[in-house]
Amino acid sequence: MRTTIRDIALQTGLSVSTVSLVLNHKQHRISEESCDRVFKAAKELNYRPNQAAVSLITKRTNTLGLIIPDITNVFFAEIAKGAQARCQELGNSLILCNTNDNPEKDVDYVNVLLDRGVDGILLVTSVSAGKSSAERCLEILGRSEKPAVLVDREINVGANSASFPGVFSDNEHGGYLATKHLLSLGHSKIGCITGPMGAQSSKHRLFGHIRALQEAGLAFEPSLVREGSYHTESGFRLSGELIDMGVTAIFACNDMMAYGVCRQAAARGIVIPKQLSVVGFDDLPFSEFFEAPLTSVKQPAYDMGVCAVDKIAGIIAFPQEPWESTKFRPQLIIRKSTLAPGV
């Protein structure tokens, strides 16, 4: 049996109350000597407080929940890593929930985590066709009184959207940077493979793309835009179509799809960047080591995880204070996959 506070009380001849007071460093007039005795006994008996008992009374579990679409995706893994690291620094634990991009599971996991009594939830929602599940999540969270922060994926459902703090990338800016880079190299026929249009991030990246185009005085041609799924396969398939249309550059809205583009190019004997320029988004650690090391828009995924935890911790510590969302500025990392066209 684990030693309890009672065992310490017995061994020191003090009361349970006293022991608790000492162990929690409450400023309550207890003599030096008693304190020492308690600490000594605690160490000797290797005392560890029973967290269930503590939680029962303090109403805190020092546990946060993280819901993400796919831990196997390095971008999300990076967020998880940052969140976990920060949790540990703050003496919290992190429960991992993986939805496999199934929005129904978002709802399930929100409920599971709430049942478990987590102190807060970090939610990276799955992309859903109808918004219903994201909406339901927010509704449940709203009723729960527990703090939650949206990470990476913005949700816009009427009034709800603004009712939770978030940690996002400025996707519009990222899309703008990527496209402007290609334009500045001299490309004018640029294909764009977007993420699923159900996701705000996808839309914003596309908006940035369009803005850059317009700023350059180019007409935006919808046929050069294809809706992908953020998976490699869709990058492979859709880039085929775009290449057929004669584009000299492709902006893939995430790196995974950019890899697909590279595969397609390789399959056709098209040399990157000589014959085709490619820009990705995310800058996965991997991209650096790619065939033609990938030019990509870097998102600070790890920092976003850290930031999200900090935000939750802040809300827990100061529930009254108003919170605000954070928007990270993405950064263009220029490598070898982009070059002036038509050499």
Partner DNA sequence: AATCATAGGTAGAACGGTTTACCAAACGCC
Partner DNA sequence: GGCGTTTGGTAAACCGTTCTACCTATGATT
* Residue 54 binds DNA (CB under 7 A): yes
CA gap 62, 94 in Å, rounded: 9
* Residue among 195, 83, 198, 80 nearest 135 (CA): 198
Q: Is 315 helix (H, G, I), strand (E, B) or coil?
A: helix
Could you say which of 39, 49, 218, 241 contacts DNA (CB under 7 A)? 49
Q: Provide the angle, in degrees to the nearest 10, between the axes of the packed helices 32-44 and 16-23.
A: 90
- For tokens 């978030």, the residue is 166
Query: Among a copy of itself, DNA, none, what does residue 25 contact (CB within 5–8 Å per kind)?
Result: none
**Which runs of E-coded beta strand occur in 72-111?**
93-98
* Residue 5 binds DNA (CB under 7 A): yes
Strands in 277-282's sheet, in edge-to-edge order, are 225-227, 190-194, 249-252, 277-282, 295-298, 331-333
Could you say which of 12, 18, 84, 337 contacts a copy of itself (CB under 8 A)? 84
CA gap 266, 254 in Å, rounded: 19
* Residue 58 binds DNA (CB under 7 A): yes
Could you say which of 10, 81, 102, 198 contacts a copy of itself (CB under 8 A)? 81
Number of alpha carbons in the 13 Å side-chain half-sphere of residue 291 = 19
Q: Contacts with DNA: how many residues (CB under 7 A)? A: 31
Stretches 48-56, 152-160, 165-173, 211-219: which one binds a copy of itself (CB under 8 A)?
Answer: 48-56
Side chain identity at 343, as an amino acid letter?
Answer: V
Site for DNA in 8-27 (CB under 7 A): 13-18, 20-21, 23-24, 26
* Residue 1 binds DNA (CB under 7 A): yes
Stretches 56-64, 67-75, 133-141, 201-209: which one binds DNA (CB under 7 A)?
Answer: 56-64
Could you say which of 15, 17, 24, 50 contacts a copy of itself (CB under 8 A)? 50
C-beta of 11 vs 51, nearer to a copy of itself? 51
Specify whether the CB–CB gap between 105 and 99 falls below 8 A: yes
Least separation in angstroms between CB 162 and a copy of itself:
26
C-beta of 17 vs 50, nearer to a copy of itself? 50
Stretches 113-121, 129-137, 175-183, 221-229: which one binds a copy of itself (CB under 8 A)?
Answer: 113-121
- For tokens 């009380």, the residue is 9
CA gap 180, 19 in Å, rounded: 65
Under 8 Å CB-to-CB from 168, ≥6 apart: which residues? 150, 151, 152, 154, 201, 304, 325, 326, 327, 328
Under 8 Å CB-to-CB from 120, ≥6 apart: which residues? 64, 65, 146, 147, 148, 149, 312, 313, 315, 316
Side chain identity at 201, as an amino acid letter?
Answer: S
* Residue 98 binds a copy of itself (CB under 8 A): yes
Q: Contacts with a copy of itself: how many residues (CB under 8 A)? A: 45
> Which positions touch a copy of itself (CB under 8 A)?
48-53, 55-56, 61, 63, 66, 70-72, 74, 77-78, 80-81, 84-85, 88, 93-98, 100, 112-117, 232, 236, 259-260, 263, 266, 285-286, 289, 291
Residues at the site binding DNA, with contacts judged by CB under 7 A: 1-2, 4-6, 13-18, 20-21, 23-24, 26, 28-31, 33-34, 47-50, 53-54, 56-58
